[in-house]
Structure 1
Amino acid sequence: MTTDASVTRSPLSPRSLLPLASICVPIGIAGALTMPFLALFLSDEVHASSAALGAFMLVSPLAGLIASTLIGRLSDSRAIRRNILVAGALAGALGAVVFAMVRDYWVLLAVSITLVAISSCLLAQMFAYTRQSLERGGNTSKASFGVSIMRTLISVAWVGGPPLAALLVSETGFEGLYFAAAALFLVVALMSARMPELGLQPRAERETGGGTVRRQIVFAAAGLVLLQGGSALGVNAMPLFITDVLHGTTGDAGLVLGLCAALEIPLILWFGSLATRFDQHRIVLLGGSFALLYHTGILLTGAVWHVAVVQVLSATAIAAVMGVGLTYFQSLAPDRPGFATTLYANTLTVGIMLSGPLLGLARELGFRTAYLMSLVLAALGVVSLFLGRTRRVTSD
């Protein structure tokens, strides 16, 4: 059993990061295995109609958003974050077992809005636990870099997870895929149970903040929703843009998206290092500016290789906005890591939901227009982030 004393070592030593990574990696792989193939599972295995599929894909993330928000608030008011990780992992394991064995649409929907929704808190709670653990180690300035390392591990999981999922489906069917996910969730539960419960922040720290911080949080949340909505729209439209507009192949689309994911990994670490020395709000704002450049560049492309070249802009924007954005949210509410991290995660969920109808509109207008819509969303997001900057108070 791990004791509290283990958390007092250097916060970025391998000895302190390895237990956190042992929770982070299986969470990331479980999500990378199951999320990309959910629509295919519902269509081919459950034989859901188009309307039923759409309803499932809307209701499920909504339930996850609500559950994560409530659990995030609970985790900040009681010293139970470690237990939440255990319970969320067990819920995920049980939900995955049901998905492996049952093919009834209504049963799966019920499981999705209960067990799977509860397990959706894992990523946010893991990041919150990571920051709190590293801050307890005595080096607050390095905690954000430690969170960036965990965020990088999630990106690595998403590089290898989908191909592994495709292999499992082809060799073992969806039963093997979901049983593998259940096993990963059990590993998360076991490793979380071995971690210490960190407790709550001291009362004096929890009372800090005020109207300025609330204003920053509101504008930051709105800005991240818009930026991540634009990013999600661009990613979802990419295969269709390459095949329908640029007359490339699906293989070209896969290579382009894989290139972006590979470029993100070192950039997340680099921006994470910068976040320990420079203002995090400015880094996120810089990432939004790169998003503007990326969407503008895509609008001007005329060949697949053009799209590949500008992926460095996309990777830079994603690394700054999604990587440093997480630690920026945590810095706005340091006494409520569960709330801050869950709010950040929810901006991604809402952004993805926002991108869905816009992708349908782009199907009617032409897929190049998806990037015009993404550009507008990114511009509004940058404006919102700018309005949320810290204002200097001058005296006469």
Structure 2
Amino acid sequence: MDHSGSKRWLVPSAALLWGLQFALLNPALAILLVDVFHAGAAQVGLVLAIYNASGFLASLALPAYADRRRDYLGPMLACAVLTLALAGALALTTSLPVAVCALVAFGGPAGVGSSLLFAQLKHSGAAPGDVVRTRAVVSFAWVAGPPLATLVIAAYGARAVLAVLAAVAVLTTFTTAAIGRRPHQADEPGESPRPAGAGRIATILVVFTALQATNSAVVAIMTLFVTDRMHLGVTWAGITLGVAAALEIPALLAIGRLSRRFSSSWLIASGCLAGIAYYTAMAYATGPAMLIGLQLLNAWFFAAVAGIGLTLFQELIPPPGLASGLYVNTRRVGAIVSGPIISLGSSTSHGYGGVFLLCAVLTAAALATLAVQPLTVRSG
């Protein structure tokens, strides 16, 4: 029996399952904290901050450990088991302090599994296009996961989503273990690329934190922008975000193919230009058709940041775990930075439209920074 076809689907299947784990948990976590653990609004914010802080630290520590061992599958398996432990711990307690301890001890480290998958891809010699296509699978999980979580909660209650999470964690464990049985070509010491200088690494960290912050800011205020600024029904905000998420998948696939012909710097620049156009046009959007149509630009912008950004980090920072961990943390820090962007942008005469205009300025600044210090790497 020929197993080559099934082996070809192992990595995409693992990517889908890793993405689905936290596409199920993260949207449902606030509901769990309120309904099951009776947390107040301030407590929810504090718990989420602590949980994200543990994820930030784990995203640095676990990949560094994996880089030293040159073993990414072992820590990935540990992360899958930790997800199962998290689901079990949250299902067996009604104590908020115990839940917080479980989120810190199990949930933060478990979330690193997805970035370790991309480190494993780099370690095994995957081309940038393969990495981007795998990232598209994770995006698909985030399209399907939140609606699935809300359906389960609506039908069976908040705790029921933990059973689904546990089932996905079991499947993730077996799929990740199966990847470990595949023959792969690990990086040879003589073939290690020269690391980028500290200045270039600092540049990429600042640029991508800014780009991630703009995306986080506009997602956070989309509902308020649609209802307050555009005077449309709240359902249009959900439709807009859903369309944007769905369009990310073909955009990532297209970016993955183009990465074979164009440099990463060129593709990121094209994404920044799309982002500038999107943010500027959104500030003056006047109706549902324009609101939805502009998501094409948004999808291309995010595909460049999410897909090519990850491969660029892996090109400039040779240790695969460190590269993936740092990239993931630009998203986390960007989410923190989005708060001041929202405050400053919405305080202008444009209201929530001012947030989009400020994001356009930040994206233009990021593009100008790349022009001054180009991040030239080999294309896939």
TM-score of the superposed pair, with normalisation by structure 1? 0.87
What whole-Å deviation, never above 9, does each CA across 1:25-70 have from its counterpart, x for those lacking one?
Answer: 1111111111112222223332222322221122211110111111
* Counterpart check, 1:86 vs 2:69: no
Question: Which residue in 2 is equivalent to 1:306?
Answer: 290
Q: Determine if contact 1:76/1:200 at 8 Å carries over to the other structure.
A: no
- For 1:16 and 1:331, the matched residues in 2 are separated by 26
The CA RMSD over aligned residues, in Å, is 2.2
- For 1:360 and 1:194, the matched residues in 2 are separated by 47
What whole-Å deviation, never above 9, does each CA across 1:68-95 have from its counterpart, x for those lacking one?
Answer: 1111111111132111111000011111
* Cα pair distance change 1:36/1:359, threshold 3 Å: farther
Q: Which runs of 5+ in 1 are unaligned?
A: 1-5, 7-12
* Counterpart check, 1:196 vs 2:166: no
1:284-295 to 2 correspondences below 5 Å: 284-295=268-279
How many residues end up aligned between the 2 structures?
Answer: 371
State which of 163, 177, 188 in structure 1 corresponds to 2:147. 163
* Cα pair distance change 1:377/1:97, threshold 3 Å: farther
* Counterpart check, 1:56 vs 2:39: no
Question: Which residue in 1 is equivalent to 2:267?
Answer: 283
- For 1:14 and 1:284, the matched residues in 2 are separated by 33
* Counterpart check, 1:261 vs 2:245: yes
Question: Which residue in 2 is equivalent to 1:379?
Answer: 364
Q: Determine if contact 1:225/1:381 at 8 Å carries over to the other structure.
A: no
Question: Which residue in 1 is equivalent to 2:12?
Answer: 21
Question: Which residue in 2 is equivalent to 1:318?
Answer: 302
- For 2:255 and 2:13, the matched residues in 1 are separated by 23
Query: 3-state SS of the aligned residue for 2:158?
Result: helix
* Counterpart check, 1:75 vs 2:60: no
State the 1:364 CA deviation.
Answer: 5.9
State which of 105, 112, 115 in structure 2 corresponds to 1:124. 115
- For 1:47 and 1:227, the matched residues in 2 are separated by 36
* Cα pair distance change 1:131/1:122, threshold 3 Å: same
State the 1:169 CA deviation.
Answer: 0.3
Q: Which runs of 5+ in 2 are unaligned?
A: none
* Counterpart check, 1:367 vs 2:338: no
State the 1:342 CA deviation.
Answer: 1.2
* Counterpart check, 1:347 vs 2:292: no
- For 1:67 and 1:297, the matched residues in 2 are separated by 38
TM-score of the superposed pair, with normalisation by structure 2? 0.91
State the identity as a percent: 28
What whole-Å deviation, never above 9, does each CA across 1:332-373 have from its counterpart, x for those lacking one?
Answer: 23x311111111111111111211344355666632222123
Question: Which residue in 2 is equivalent to 1:9?
Answer: none
* Cα pair distance change 1:159/1:390, threshold 3 Å: closer
State which of 102, 105, 111 in structure 2 corresponds to 1:114. 105
- For 1:285 and 1:340, the matched residues in 2 are separated by 20
What letter corresponds to residue 205 of structure 1 in structure 2? E
- For 1:14 and 1:286, the matched residues in 2 are separated by 35
Question: Which residue in 2 is equivalent to 1:10?
Answer: none
